[in-house]
């Protein structure tokens, strides 16, 4: 449930969320694991922004974080994972949840995820010149990597569901009290 706030309050929250987002993406360059974990964590923040301050606030934060991270974040893979998928997926996720057939819904989500990950890798290779394969890695690595990324997405999807419920039942009322 979106609360009605002054635009200045929403702008302040979006600005702080953007700053946190850029910082998290910057820290995502420390290790390879954080390059994937940081964008996923920021997706959770988008859920909170969307539920509490509205879809418009979440989109503004996503766009601002994407633009600033493009300039400031050195790990382009981390930045692209956020921009291409994990940053906006929690905002548009509701459209996928409207699909009634569970099997078709999961297949649709996985297909969308895989298309976005392929796009991400193509951009990283063609625009940023970052090779996907290191010396000694073969085609079997690509298959294993793709399977693990799909498993990671399914875990992320479950995490989004659980964190959203946790936020709704435990945190949302407290946060709304702060901003009233």
What are the residue ranges spanned by the domains of the chain? 7-179
167 vs 41, 46, 114, 164, CA distance in Å?
14, 12, 28, 5
pLDDT at 129: 87
pLDDT of 136 over the 80 cut = no
Give the range among 4-8, 97-101, 115-119, 125-129 with minimum mean pLDDT: 4-8
pLDDT tens-place string over residues 152-174: 999 999 999 999 999 999 998 88
Give the range among 70-74, 152-156, 175-179 with minimum mean pLDDT: 175-179
3-state secondary structure 83-126: HHHHCCHHHHHHHHHCCCCHHHHHHHHHHHHHHHHHHHHHHHHH
E strands, the chain, are none
pTM: 0.89
pLDDT tens-place string over residues 14-31: 999 999 999 999 999 888
- Indicate the pLDDT class of residue 118, thresholds 50, 70 and 90: very high
Nearest partner of 120 among 111, 110, 130, judged by Cα: 130
């Amino acid at each position: 449930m979106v609360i009605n706030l002054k635009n200045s309050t929403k702008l302040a929250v979006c600005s702080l969320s953007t700053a946190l987002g850029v910082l998290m993406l910057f820290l995502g360059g420390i290790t390879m694991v954080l390059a994937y974990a940081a964008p996923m964590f920021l997706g959770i923040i988008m859920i909170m922004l969307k539920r509490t301050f509205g879809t418009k606030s979440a989109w503004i934060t996503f766009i601002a974080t994407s633009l600033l991270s493009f300039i400031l974040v050195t790990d382009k893979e981390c930045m692209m994972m956020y921009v291409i998928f994990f940053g906006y997926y929690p905002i548009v996720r509701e459209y996928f949840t409207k699909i009634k057939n569970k099997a078709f819904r999961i297949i649709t989500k996985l297909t969308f995820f895989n298309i976005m990950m392929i796009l991400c890798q193509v951009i990283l290779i063609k625009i940023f010149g970052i090779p996907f394969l290191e010396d000694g890695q073969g085609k079997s690595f690509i298959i294993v990597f793709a399977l693990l990324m799909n498993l990671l997405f399914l875990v992320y999807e479950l995490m989004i569901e659980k964190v959203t419920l946790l936020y709704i039942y435990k945190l949302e009322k407290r946060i709304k009290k702060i901003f009233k």
